[in-house]
Amino acid sequence: MWFIALLRGIGHNPALLAAVGSILVAQGIKVPIFYWTDRKWDPSKMMSTGGMPSSHSAAVSSLATVVGIRAGTGSMLFAASVVFAIIVMYDAAGIRRHAGEQAIAINKLEAEIGKYIDSWPMGLRNEAYQKKLKEMLGHQPIEVFMGCILGIMIAVIATL
């Protein structure tokens, strides 16, 4: 009984629905955008981090927009939502992007070292060196901006 009430409450929460909807839309359009830019069809982009648009930015901007529309831009909840959104978007375009750039450098270094490791006897190889680091971790500023715009648009539609 409580579970049904919980689901009913979630289903009537426009902030949550808009945020989750923004994530789904942003992740879904990554596949055709990747095809358009790279001419490769890769459905795995739907589940990946990084890329255009930022689903993190879409979610938090959508959340903040719905809260602003429903609770008012003068509310403390709106202020908290905006600060949360700024932190998430800054992280996506800053720290996580730089971690991805470091992964690219490490993967290049590993490829160079790998040429020498391949000549080592089998017992001396370390399998940890065989694993490639994920390079698409963060976002370019334009990806964050477009995610933010997408999230705002979805929030406005969700509150109509």
Residue with tokens 């070292």: 113
Q: pLDDT digit string (tens) for 129-159?
A: 556 656 566 678 899 999 999 999 999 999 9
Residue with tokens 């008012």: 72
Q: pLDDT digit string (tens) for 56-95?
A: 999 999 999 999 999 999 999 999 999 999 999 988 877 7
Of 117 and 57, the one with more pLDDT: 57
What predicted TM-score, i.e. pTM, was given to this entire model? Answer: 0.74
Of 47 and 123, the one with more pLDDT: 47
Report how far residue 5's alpha carbon sits from residue 138's, in angstroms, rounded to the nearest whole number: 37
Kind plus residue range of the DSSP H or E element containing 112:
helix 95-117
Give the pLDDT score at 6.
67
A 10 A CB-CB count for 31 gives 18
Report how far residue 90's alpha carbon sits from residue 144's, in angstroms, rounded to the nearest whole number: 9
